Amino acid sequence: MSATIARVRALLFFALHPKRLLMLIAGVVSATLYVWVAAVRAVPGVQERKTAMRRAWRERDRKRP
């Protein structure tokens, strides 16, 4: 089985310039992170739940050694 010219060109596009591949990976990761943060912030009641969890953590029963 031989590779098509398009596949070879795509491979050479990234193989000859690894910075392009790193930029592509960074772009995908940052876009995914942006969408995740935006989705979490859009959920109603997130701030209240986080505040309640922090308050419960500060007021928890601590075992003294």
- Domain ranges in the chain are 25-59
pLDDT at 65: 65
Contact in structure between 20 and 13 (CB atoms under 8 Å): yes
- Interior angle at CA 50, CA 45 and CA 28, nearest 5: 85
pTM for the structure as a whole: 0.54
* C-alpha–C-alpha distance, residues 44 and 41, integer Å: 8
- The list of the chain residues with pLDDT below 50 reads none
pLDDT value of residue 1? 53
